[in-house]
Structure 1
Amino acid sequence: MLVDRVRSGRPVAHVAAELGVSRPTAHKWVRRWRAEGEAGLADRSSRPLMTPHRTPATVEEQVCELRRSRKLGPARIGPVLGLPASTVHRILTRHGLHRLARLDRPTGTVIQRHERDRPGEPIHIDAKKPGRIPDGGGHKALGRHAGRPIRGMGFDYVHSAVDDHTRLAYSEIHPDEKVTTCAGFLTRAAAFFHTHGITRIERVLTDNAWSYRKCLTWKQTLNELGATGKLTRPYRPQTNGKAEHFNRTLLDEWAYPRPYTSNTERTEALTDFLHTYNHHHCHTALGGKPPNTRVNNPQVNTPRPCSERPTGRAFQDQKVHPCATSH
């Protein structure tokens, strides 16, 4: 946009003021375009060519060795090697050793995030209950005082299924979480995963809700799919962490990113959110790639990282591709 306006004959200073950038920045982009064409407008790394004051590689190796062998923290490694604790922490972070929880205690090797080797083993299922929105909007649209909750509005039950290996997600909104609702959702979720190449569900991991724990209809549905049911440890939602993390993303990027004027409007927005999450969401556990890339190409292990996460307003209002800066 900046180059197009300059090419039309506009002064660079005027164009810079219109776009909210400094004149030196505007001149820099124009010089790049004149020297290299369209390729010169691509983002470049801001990493310096030389870092003369960086800690020598041999010292960094000593820091890493003390971390692996003795499990020492920055405050204890620093005095041993004569380094500030902050420097030691940056070295450990650079090498992925800053969290002891990610190290295997006997060997000191970095343990990757827990993840199953193949799709469908297992599928994580959970339900979230955001409050329904009255017609005209709730407190986010009208303000805390004007948008007081209306008695009897109740909740929407958002049932979600997340594949452990690919992070592919499927959600539906229902008025309850009764056993027939849960069983029907599982059947449709299995059909969704099947269309995306996950042809077999081996296990289904859920919390200890009554519908999953005691009801025969749920167990019969599992048998029809050829899957086994697995329950989390009581009072340990971390066991079902992938579904819980998806619920957090669901609230941040679908349920609460902007003020909806009705419950129907929010419900209709769920389809767009799921498409964005599965096809464009830069998932950190997948190296910055969206879940559908792992379904289509399971061998992708080092994809190009994404520089921006999608925001609710970007996906809802502007329909901006959340990974636009890296594609």
Structure 2
Amino acid sequence: MREPREGGPPALGPGLIWGIEFTPEGNRAVEDCNSAHDGRLRWLHLNLADHGTRQWVETSPELPAAAREVLLSQDRHQRALVDPITVACVLHDFERDFDSEDTGRIGALHMALTGNLIVSARHHPVGSADIVHRRLSGSEMAMTPPRALDMMVSAMLENFGRVIARLSGEVQAAEDALVEDRPVPGSHRLLDVRRRLAQLHRMLDGMKSVFRRLEIDDDLPADMLPTVEKLSQRVQGVGGDIISVLNQLRSVRDEINDQSNQRVNQNLYLLSVMTALMLPATLVTGIFGMNTGDLPLVGHHGTVGATVLAAGSALATFLFLRGRGFFR
């Protein structure tokens, strides 16, 4: 039976989206959560929006209390819970739609790892589960819980990496436009890029805190510690990539603001010069516009004389300003 795509029509069982059992002969599809298995590692990916899923989690004898608590938790923040036989956590990933791999909405993936059972669950489709399912449907295997955790978190980081690469490309394109004196993206688009980067940074900060707490937890199974340490370093590395793009974006925005301020200053400078040049001519026309006696140039050719006087005063002002270095 072909495995359904993450978020597609559910397979048989209470809210079962896909299930895989790992055998020496290869991966085998699981179509029923309650089917018997002989101690081999099994991975079930469940839909928490299905009422049957919650009932199955609450009554399954294979799930310890810590696993049930995390899987059924309504908490949206990232956290981890460890006991001697279970590692359970809530991690953030981007939700996806059937027509969009990146919706920008943050979804919570609940995950519990026991000795021979891995359960992941979500309320809305997330990109990482789709990536893991495609890999497990091929030749890749997750024969141990640490390997399963590695696969899921690696898929999340791959998902984040694609978003970061796209946002970084937009920032670099804006930077190239500045260097080549081409039109740059509007401030609203750059603000959207900054918001997405800040969103990713918060998600990775929460994930980094989860793995840091797991590293220092005395109850963490010994075979899980190397994987947790490796994932913690990888999360920090991706977080560093985001900081780098944020710094680059900040430099681009500063340059755009500097150029905008320079244009405003140039316009103000031009307006000030024009005002200074026109001020003497305005004074002349103001004098000749007064209704008083003994005005000069009231005879023939008076208008021509007043015009020459106004133009001459503007020229004298221009020469004075140029001599003082006002024209660059």
In which range does the TM-score fall when normalised by the shorter chain? under 0.3
TM-score of the pair, normalised by structure 1: 0.23
Greater share of residues in helix: 2
Q: Which has the higher strand share?
A: 2
TM-score for the superposition, normalised by structure 2 = 0.23
**Largest Rg, 1 or 2:** 2
